[in-house]
Structures are given as C-alpha cells and as structure tokens.
Structure 1
Amino acid sequence: MRSFTGGKELVRPGVTRFATYFLALQTLCEQKGNLRRMFVSAEWMESSFTTQANGIAVAEYMYSTTFWESIEQIVEFSEPLVKILRLVDGDKPPMGYVYEAMDRAKEVIKSKLENNRDKYMPLWDIIDRRWDGQMHTPLHAAGYFLNPLLFYKTDFLEIDAEIKQGFFKCMEKMFPDLEKFDAATIELEMYKHAKGFLSSRAAIQSRKTIQPAAWWASFGDEIPNLRWMAVRILSQPCSSSACERNWSVFEHIHSKKRNRLSQQRLNDLVFVHHNLRLKIRKAQGTIEECLPIDLDEIYPECELIAADDVDDDDDDVDDDYVVADRPLVSEDFDIMRQANFRPEWVEGIRTGSCPGASSSGPPAL
C-alpha cells in the first residue's frame, strides 16, 4: 500500500480519538485513486489475499460507489465540527468564540446541503442535542457577548435572546452582592454604546488585533466591574476531550504503586499537572498570546481542513516515491477480468456506475 500512496499511512493518530477517525476517512478520500490502482496491480493479484474472503470484500469496497459516497459525505459534514474541536483544544482561550463557531459550523453544513431543510435539519438536530444537553453553558453565551469583535458587529437589539440570558445568568452568579451587580449593570450601558475610552481609536482598532481578555484589560478601566467579569470569563480555557485527556493523566498518576489517593487529591494532582504543562509551553514560546482567533480564517467558503493536520513526516517523502494519480485504463480492466473479478463489477467500474455496489453494496467484513 505504501508504494502506491507515496509512503503515507491511512491511519494517522490524532490528539483525540474522534480526530483520528476523521483524518483516516479524509486520507481515504485523498488516496482513492491510488488505492483503486493497488487492487488491480500485479502485486495484489499475485498475493494470497485475492483468494481470501476478506481480501475479496476489501477489493469490492474499493470499487463500491456507495462506499466512497458515504465517506465523502461524512468528511464533508464532519469537517466544520472538527474545526470547532480543534479550536477549543488550541492554546488560545476560545471562550469568546465557541458560540459563534458553532453557529457558523451549522451554516456551513446547511450551505453544503443547498439549504434543503429536509436534508440539513436531521444533522442540526443531532448537533443541537449534544450541544444543548452536554456542551452549552451560559459561559459560552457570555463569552460571545463580551467579545468586542463579535459584539460590535451586531446591533444590541438584534442579539439573540439566548445570548443575553446567558450573560445575565453569569452576572447574577459572579456578582452576588446587589450593589456590585447594579454597578455592573450601569457600566453595561457604556459597553453597549462604546462610550468613553472604549470609543477611542486604539480600542476600536484593537478589537481585531488582540485577544478579547487582553482588550478588556487594556481598555476597560472606566468600567472596572464589567472588566473584572470579562477577563475572568474570556480567559477560561476549553477542551473538547476533557474526559479522554484527563483519563490519560489519571492513568499516569493513579498507578499500581500509587493507587490509594483520595478523589480530591487525585483531582488536585491532575489540575497541577495540566497547569504545569501549560506553564512549560508558555515558557517555551509555543503559545501566541497576543493574536486573537480568526473565525473568518477558520470558516471561509469551501475551505479544506487546515494544513497543520497533515503528517509532520510528509515533507520527508521523496517526490520520486509518490505515485501520481491517474484514471484507470483498459489494461487495468483486463487484469481485473483475468483475476476473475465479477463481470458486473468490471463493467460498473468501467462506466462509473458500479451497478453491483449501488443496490446492496459490497459484503460486510
């Protein structure tokens, strides 16, 4: 396989399990032509797999129209959501962007399905069930509300009611003292209308150039209560896979030799371990603290997945080793007939219709 794919692997271990699945399917799509040629090559025909049930089944999958169409659809509709998972697992605090990113991901899926409600609503329902039931909190809405880059793009009266409700829920939680709550409410008017220092040229320009928490720390002096709230919320880190990552840390700490730790002490050790790792990465200069997250760059029209998900070893592959993709030719079909491929499969592959695959598909492995 590697001789046909240019040394690339189909399975590329990602930071999280779901990313690994997505990258594997994406690689399958990229290597579709090379994989198909592999199954009509002399090396494959001479191997023992051609007489085994699993080998025959895999070969039929490679020429199944329904198989490839399913993979392409999964990649196309999963990509906007994977971008959110990568966003929240990044080094920059994403709390001010998650709400907007989720809305943009749903709109991308909607546009890919040509705004056909019957097609995109089932996917939206799945996303909403997971988002509303497990992931969405008032902090996400408050983060959107306090992100100046997003907030000032929309008139206050047109901001979604859910965002406002989430913001005020956070205010009630963070200002139990009625006097401070009233002071923050009064300060809110200055933020809504960008009054005082918030209307300065530096403050307006910096909405696009620095992170939201840093923006509040720099320009929120005249509204100290709201600034305190904004910095705390917008500095919150997020994680799409807290359980997976935490369990790996738990496994490291809770070993066979050290297995009598109390739950609270175990949680504290995981907390310290994670923060020490962040501190080390910051000291090494791997975190770009100043630049804000650019959602327009993450969700442009028809954008493919970001290049940093590509294998780090790809640059080491010799260009002469890569097999260029090419369409199947008559010699390939002759080899398939000699290998006793089903006649209907050979004809389907030649015409591009694959009638044997479109009805019931290849046999299950």
Structure 2
Amino acid sequence: MPSESDKWGWEHVSVFGGFDRGSGTKRWKCNYCNLRYNGSYSRVRAHLLGFPGVGVKSCPAIDRSLREAFQILEEERLARKKKTSPVDGKSGKRIRTSQSTLTVKNISKEEVDGMIARFFYADGLNVHVINSPYFLEMVKAISAFGRGYELPSIYELSDSFLRKEKEKIEKFMASDRESWPHTGCSMLCVSRLDSTLGYFQISIFVSSSRGLTFLKAVDIDDTDKMENLFTSALTDAILEVGPTNVLQIISHLGHPCKSSESLVLTKFPHIFWSPCTSHSIQMLMEDIAGLEWIKSTVSCAKGIEQLMMYYRHAYPGLFIHNLKENSDPVSAKFAPSYCFIQRIFELKKALQEAVVSEEFKQWKLNMQGDNVTVGSAILRDDFWCKVHLFLQLCEPFVRLLSTFDIDKSPMGIVHDWRVQALEAIKGKGIDSTALNQLEVLIENRWDVLFSPLHAAAYMLNPRYFGRGQSKDKTVMRGWKATLERYESDSSARRTLREQLCSYWRLEGSLGEEDAVEFRDKMEPVAWWENFGFETQQLQTLAIKVLSQVSSVAMCQEIWQDNDFPCRETANRLGLDRVEDLVFVRNNLRIHSRRYGNSTSPSGVKSWDSVHPDQTMSIVNIHDGL
C-alpha cells in the first residue's frame, strides 16, 4: 500500500473528518472550488485531474495549466510506485494472479490460446482485432519482455501514452507536409450516420503523393446546422493544411451538406470541388441500366430472381444456386445492377435446365400470369442477347473500378478509360443504336459527374501524348475549366496555354531523346520533374494535377466501421482525448495498410523507422486489416 505522503492530492484539499474502522474514506473539501465530498484518495485525484465516473465532479476552478501540473505529479507518483513495486511476493493483485498462473507450472499453448479467447469473449471485443498487425506486435513484445511485465494503467493509456503516440504520428506527417507545396494535395471528406447515437460523423483526410493521412472528425447532432458546422470544420482544415497547398476537395457527403460547396469555394475560389470518381461511375452505370431497352431487361431479370427464390423454397434440393451470391466486392458495392445481371448470366444453363424440368412445370401451374411470362423469358434468346449486351457495355466501367485502391486512383486514367472504353465497345460489334445511346449518355453526364482535372491530367500525362486531345471537345472543355479555376490572372493563363503548345511541339527539353523515350517508362510526375524545367509554370501545374487521387473509396474503407467517438468514451475521457484517440486510431489503420506487406517480424513498421521517401506499398481497399 503506497504511503499517504506520496499522495500529492491531499495537499490540495482540506480534510475535516474520517470514518471509523480505519478506512481511507474521509470527509474533505477542495481548496479551489470549496465543494465537499466523502471519499478516499481516488476521489480526490479524480476531482483534481478531471476524471469522471467515480462519483465526483471535475473541479471547475482549476485551469488547464494547473491541471497539467497535477498530471505531471500523478505520472511521477505512478513511476515511483512502479519502480518500488517488487516483482515477487506482495506485488499487487494483478501480478500475483499472473505469477500464480504462469510460474507454478509450465503452461501449454492450448491454455494460452484459451486465455486469449476468454479475454475476447468476456470483454465483448471484436474478434477480428486478432488479425490486426498491432495486436500481433503487442503479443510478441510482451513475450520478448518476459516475466514480470506490468500492463499500463487506464490513466496512462488514455493520457500519456496516447499523447506520445499522437506526437509520433504528427512527426511522421511533418515529412508529408513538406511535400505539399510541390505536389499539392487533395482533401477527402466522407460521412456516415450513426443510427445508434443519432448524429452524423464526417471525417476529413488529406491525400498527396506521399500517401493518405487522417486529419480530423466532426460529429454533428443538429441537422439544421449541419452545413454551417461542416463548412466551418472544412474551412479550418484547409487553413491548417494551407490554402495554396490544396488543389481539390473530393466529398461524398450526400444531400445534407450539398450547399457547403458554394460556401467553401467562395472563400477559396482556386480550389476544385470534384465528384468522387467511384460513385460517379456507379451513377453512370445505373444511368445505363435505366436506358429504355435495358430497363425492361433488368426488370425481367429481377422477376427471374424472385421466381427462382420461390421455386427454391418449394424444392430446395432441385435448384441449389443462390442468385444473390457474388464473389466480387467491387461490383457488389459500386455496380449493383451489373453484379446482379452478371450472376443471372452465369446461371443461364442452370436456369434453363430448371424451367424445363417436370417439377417446375407442375409447380408453374399454380403461378400467376406475370410469373409465367418471366419464366418463359429464361428460354428466349432475345432476353439473353440483351443481358449479354448490357454486360458488354458495363465491363469497361467495372474494370476501371478495380484499379482504385488504397493510395492509387489517379487523375488522367479516367479520361483515357473513357476513350478506350468506347473504342473497345465498338470493336465488339455492338448495335450502332445502342452504341450511340451510350455515347450521348456519357457526353451529357460527363461534366456533371467528373472533375475537369481529369481532362487536364489526360492532356498532361506524357503516357497519353499525341492522343488527339486538342480535337476532343470534352477534353478541351475540361482544360479550359481547369485553367480558369487554377489561375485567375489572364496573362498567367496565356503563359500556360503557350507552354502547352511547346509541350505538344516537343520544343526544348520536352523534345529531347530521353524525354520522348521515357514518356511511358517513367512515372508522369517524375517525367515532368526531369524534363519540364523550361516550362516551369506548366511543370508546376502538371506535377500538382498528376499527383492527385480521384476517389474517396480508400477513406470509406477505413472509416466505415469506425466505432469512435461514442458518448460513453467521450464522458470517460473528455473531448480532447477523444479527438486524439480518433486521430491516432485512424492514422494507425492507414499506416498498417501502407506497410501491411512489411517484412519485419511484426508485419508493421513503427512511425520512427519509416523513411519519408520510401515508396508506399499498395494494399487493395478490400483487403482486411
């Protein structure tokens, strides 16, 4: 038992009585706020340090500096306690329990596994955390330390260790910040509604050529003020990153924050507000599914699904296939109509065999008229021809979606995909009427669904040099919009246009032998850094545009199952600590994805060991942690 002299808190309260039986419970009054309580030293400490949940209020008269001084005293007290606590003998309940279990006999791996399982079951933790590289790192570190290790206290975990981890992350992020003036960066915003707590959570990430980092989260429980609160938070984030460093904002927030775009761009007119490419492609594919001749095919396919579900229920052993089954998570998430039609097409033979069986014919006698019509469609060639045509039209879209991963969904690829997709579809001998409908649809929807930065990147990416961009009105429209937003001065825009002509004409360093040879052998940004020095304004624009991503998909994968901050945690830790906890947690998740393929024993590189110039390893967005 620690001596009373080591409990610094007694010096800041006035004790005016105690209870019987020699207990540590006393009557005391705070010297700062004059509130009176009954309780032991744990309540004194909680009152002075601001710990809620132990039956006392946080002292309202203590300012931040004094509280920080108290925290230092508490850390010193805990350090002395830990240093003087014996490893053997009377070393506290936790250590005694651990030693009595592990040192009396040789413990088997099966018993250790059982204890780990019991810990997860008893505390209701997500068992998937066992796949976390940080969990494996922790277990190996404890094993390496050996006998006598004592876990950190709750106070240390929620205060000093949390603060240290945040400092490590911020130090690591400092190297990213140094690159932002050169490459620019994108701010990515995603949201979700927490139905349990009844408020929106909006998270803001920063993406650059160095990788993705989590900046902050905003909890909004007042929908009437949502737009103003989000606009204010995003404005503060832009100022923190540096307005001149931010090239674009990509958001997927839905209707609640729709007007935030105009409010933010009024303050920062040079910044682009770009749609998320993944969701734009999803909307374009749904638009295709809504074309009149395809709409009837999709409707018929849904009727087939419902019919076969009824039949499967009636004869579970005769039709064993699940029409909702899909092994491709990308299609299921971003292309539901394509995914559904593809599954129907895969089961064409099984469906046709089912509807000609005697069991189906007998069962069909009890069906309604619509179901009879739907059933007969399975045997019609025209239905399957339309299904196949729809899949052909959508296949290039799905192929593009599969290229978006944790750190790579770069500008330029999208516009090239648009050109190549139409050419590929033409090569499949698709009906000219259907092809014309697709071209018109893409043309009409492109400016709404895609950022003009895609056009600028398609024009400036050396890999796409000589693709006839100047004759493509969609590309030139996007290039014009890019210049007008990026550069407000007309003479500066003229310079950029002139330097673009130099690029096309292969003038100076841009036409050197190495520059021509390395167009498709070097990364586009590296190519401009090496050969664009005679057209510095265009070089700067090219590097910034080609360094950006175009989708928030990687952020949603990190944020979608985020269970912080919650009200209970907020009440226990306080607002500042919850913000730190969210900051640390999300950046650790990003960090583990960056270095998920590390060859170190733990599988994770520490913040201190990462060299800022190392190339980030790419982990697919659908890989688990």
**TM bucket normalised to smaller:** 0.5 to 0.7
How far, CA to CA, are the matches of 1:46 and 1:60 in structure 2?
12
TM-score in terms of structure 1 length: 0.57
Alignment CA distance shift 1:25-1:119 (3 Å) = closer
**Offset at 1:59?**
5.0
- In structure 1, what is the Cα distance between the partners aligned to 2:443 and 2:412? 19
Which of 531, 534, 538 aligns to 1:222? It is: 534
Q: Which residue of 2 aligns with 1:23?
A: 339
Q: Which is richer in strand?
A: 2
Contact persistence 1:149–1:207 (CA under 8 A): yes
2:401 to 81, 85, 91: 85
Distance 2:583 2:479 in 1: 27
Instruction: Output the CA distance in 2 between the equivalents of 1:27 and 1:109.
Output: 21
Indicate the RMSD between aligned Cα atoms, in angstroms: 4.8
Pair 14,93 (structure 1): closer, same or farther in 2 beyond 3 Å: closer
- Give the corresponding residue for 2:389: 73
Aligned to 2:559: 249
From 92, 100, 103, give the equivalent of 2:419: 103
Structure 1 residue 189: Cα displacement: 4.0
Classify 1:245/1:70 alpha carbon distance in 2 versus 1 (closer, same or farther; 3 Å). farther
Shift of 1:229: 0.9
1:235 maps to: 547
Q: Closer, same or farther in 2 for the Cα pair 1:90/1:21, shift >3 Å?
A: farther
User: Relative to structure 1, is the Cα distance of residues 124 and 163 closer, same or farther in structure 2, using a 3 angstrom cutoff?
Assistant: closer
Whichever residue aligns with residue 221 of structure 1, its letter is: F
Query: Counterparts in 2 of 1:158-177, with a 5 A limit?
Result: 158-176=470-488
The alpha-carbon deviation at position 249 of structure 1 amounts to 3.2
Q: How do 1:324-363 and structure 2 match up within 5 A?
A: none
| Counterpart for residue 509 of structure 2 | 197
Mapped pair 1:187 → 2:531: no
Alignment CA distance shift 1:283-1:126 (3 Å)? same
One-letter code of the match for 1:28? I
Residue 435 (structure 2) pairs with residue 120 (structure 1): yes
Instruction: Give CA-to-partner distance per residue, 1:232-282, whole Å, 9 cap, x none.
Output: 11122123xx5997499367367764899xxxxxxxx99998887665433
What are the Cα deviations for residues 288-335 of structure 1, in whole angstroms up to 9, with x where unaligned?
A: x79xxxxxxxxxxxxxxxxx9xxx9xxxxxxxxxxxxxxxxxxxxxxx
Partner deviation per Cα, 1:35-72 (whole Å, 9 max, x = no partner): 32345568xx3999667638x75754432434323322
* C-alpha contact (below 8 Å) 2:463/2:519 kept by paired residues: yes
1:11 aligns with 2:325: yes
Instruction: Report the residue type matching 1:283 in the other structure.
Output: Y
Note the C-alpha offset of 1:32. Answer: 1.6
Aligned residue for 1:252, secondary structure, equals coil
- Who is 1:32 aligned against? 348
Identify the residue that residue 343 of structure 1 maps to in structure 2. Answer: none
**Gap regions ≥5 residues in structure 2:** 1-311, 571-580, 599-614
Deviation, structure 1 residue 204: 1.8
Task: Give the count of matched residue pairs.
Answer: 276
Residue 461 of structure 2 corresponds to: 147
Q: Which blocks of at least 5 consecutive residues in structure 1 are unaligned?
A: 261-268, 291-307, 313-365
Hey, what does 1:330 align to over in structure 2? Answer: none
Q: Is the 8 A contact 1:4 1:34 kept in 2?
A: no
- Identify if the C-alpha distance between structure 1 residues 123 and 179 changes in structure 2 by more than 3 Å, giving closer, same or farther: closer
Higher helix fraction: Structure 1 or Structure 2?
1
Closer/same/farther in 2, CA of residues 285 and 189 from structure 1, 3 Å limit: farther
Task: Determine the structure 2 residue equivalent to 1:210.
Answer: 522
Counterpart code for 2:461: N
Alignment-mate amino acid for residue 562 of structure 2: H
Query: What secondary structure is seen at the aligned counterpart in 1 of 2:402?
Result: helix
Contact 1:96–1:212 at 8 Å: present in 2 too?
no
Shift of the 182–47 alpha-carbon distance from structure 1 to 2, 3 Å rule, reads: closer
Contact 2:452 2:479 in 1 (8 A): yes
Alpha-carbon distance between aligned partners in 2 of 1:91 and 1:60, rounded to the nearest angstrom: 47
Q: Which has the higher contact order (CA 8 A, sep 6+)?
A: 1
